[in-house]
Structure 1
Amino acid sequence: MDQRDWDARYAAADLVWGAEPNRWVVRETAGLPPGRALDLAAGEGRNSIALAAAGWQVTAVDLSPVALDRGRRLAAAQPPGTAGRITWVHADATAYTPEPAGYDLVVLCFLHLPAADRRTVLDHAARALAPGGTLLVIGHDTSNLTEGVGGPQDPAVLFTPDDVLADLAGAGLETVRAERLRRPVAPGHARGQDQGGGPAAEAVDALVRLHRP
C-alpha cells in the first residue's frame, strides 16, 4: 500500500487500530525509565501517546498525513503535557534515517514489509539505538496465516522472531526476548488490536526485544 491507500484507509474509519496501546508494547516498556523514544510506522499514535503519557519524549513517524493529523488530535485530548512530548514526522519508514544513537527506545509495531525493506528499516532502527537502549519489534508471525486470525495474508510481508534476529545479526545487540505470542482478537479486528468484546479468536504475534549494551 502507498500513501494514498493508507490515507484512504485512515479517512474511512474513526480509529483503524483502536485507541488503546498494543498490549505487548505496554508490557515490554513498563519497567523502562522514560527517555527518548522512536515509534516507526506510528499510525494514529496509540503507542506514541501512551509512551508520552508515561513521560517519554517521542518521535512518531508515519507515511500517512491523515493518520498523523488524527494522532495530533488524540494527543491534544490527553492530560496536559502529553501532546508536547510528541514530535510527529511524515516520512516513509523505509527511507527515514533517524538520528544515530539518539533513542533509548525504538518501537516497530506491526510494520509489515517485504524482507529487503524490513532489513533496511531494522538496520536504521538498530543504528538509532543509544547505548543501554531497547529495540522492540512486534508483528504478525508467519504462522498467523495458518494458526491465527487477521493481519496481512501475504506471507512475503510476515516474519518470525528468527527472521528478525537474522536481519539484525552483527548489529551488536543482545537478545532479551524472542518469542511467539497468542493474542485474543475480537471479530473483525486485525493489526495489533486486542479483544474488544464478543467471541474472540487468537492472532499469533512475533515479538523480539533487544538491548544495546
Structure 2
Amino acid sequence: MDARDWDERYAAAELVWSAAPNEFVATHLAELPPGRALDLAAGEGRNAIWLAQRGWDVTAADFSQVALDKGRQVAGDTAVRWVCADATTWAETSAYDLVVLAYLQLPETQRRAAVRAAFAALVPGGTFFLVAHDTTNLTEGTGGPQDPAVLMSAEDVLADLADQAFDVVRAGREPRTVGDGHGEEPVRTAWDCLVRLVRR
C-alpha cells in the first residue's frame, strides 16, 4: 500500500488503531528517562502521544498526511512534532535518544531501509525499539498480515543491522493476547517480533 492507499484507509475510520499506546511500547519503555524520541511510521501517533505525555520531546513521522492530521487532533494540547515522511528514506541522523518502529510491515528490502534509517537516527546510547507481526504469527498466531513477505523475525531485524554496533536488550518473539474472552470473542494469541537494542 502506498501513501494514497493509507490516506484513504485513515480517512474511512474514526481511528484505525486504538488511542492507547502499543502494550509492548508501554511495558518496555516506561522506565526510560525522557529525551528526544522519533516514532517512525507513527500512523495516528498513539505511541508518540504517550511518549510526549511522559515528558519526551517527540517527532511523529508517517507518509500519510491524513494519519498525521488525525494524530494532531487526538493529541490536543500534547506537544508532538508531526512530519510527513517515508520511513524508508528518513535521513535525520544521530539525533534521537529513542526510535520506535511499531508494526511497519514491509517487504525485505524496504524493511531493511526503514530499520537502518531508524537506527541511524539514534545518538550513541540511544534505544532502538521495534515491534512487528512475527513470521510465525501466520501459522501459529492470529490476525495481522497474511502475506509472509511482510512478516519478520528478530533474526531478520538483527541481520538488517549486522554491520552496526549495538547491545541487544531483547530480541525474540512475544505473545500478545487478542480478545478478552467476553461475549463471542475468544481469547487468542498473536505472535509479535520484538527487538530492543542500544546503539554503541
Report if TM-score (shorter chain) is over 0.5.
yes
SS of 1:94 mapped into structure 2: helix
1:196 and 1:65 mapped to 2: Cα distance?
Answer: 36
- Establish whether residue 92 from structure 1 lines up as the match of residue 86 from structure 2: yes
Partner in structure 2 of residue 129 of structure 1 = 122
Partner in structure 2 of residue 4 of structure 1 = 4
Runs of 4+ in 1 over 4 A off after TM superposition: none
- Establish whether residue 211 from structure 1 lines up as the match of residue 198 from structure 2: yes
RMSD: 1.3
8 Å CA contact 2:87, 2:117 repeated in 1: no
8 Å CA contact 2:90, 2:118 repeated in 1: no
1:156 and 1:139 mapped to 2: Cα distance?
Answer: 13
**Can you give the 5+ residue segments of structure 2 that lack an aligned partner in the other structure?**
none
2:34 and 2:193 mapped to 1: Cα distance?
Answer: 24
**Aligned to 2:110, which of 117, 137, 140?**
117
Quickly say closer, same or farther: Cα 1:196–1:10, change in 2 above 3 A: farther
Which residue identity is paired with 2:153? T
**Aligned to 1:182, which of 150, 171, 175?**
175
1:54 and 1:160 mapped to 2: Cα distance?
Answer: 30
**Can you give the 5+ residue segments of structure 1 that lack an aligned partner in the other structure?**
187-194
Q: Deviations over 1:8-38 (max 9, x none)?
A: 1111111111111000001111110000000
Q: Which has the higher contact order (CA 8 A, sep 6+)?
A: 1
TM-score for both structures, normalised by structure 2: 0.95
Is the deviation greater in 87-96 or in 39-48? 87-96
Q: Deviations over 1:28-77 (max 9, x none)?
A: 1111000000001100010000000000011100111111000000000x
2:190 and 2:52 mapped to 1: Cα distance?
Answer: 27
1:30 and 1:3 mapped to 2: Cα distance?
Answer: 31
Structure 1 position 125, deviation (Å):
1.2
Identity fraction in percent: 59
TM-score for both structures, normalised by structure 1: 0.89
Structure 1 position 196, deviation (Å):
9.5
Residues 120-199 of structure 1 correspond to what in structure 2 (within 5 A)? Answer: 120-186=113-179, 198-199=185-186
Task: Give the total of aligned pairs.
Answer: 198
Quickly say closer, same or farther: Cα 1:196–1:41, change in 2 above 3 A: farther
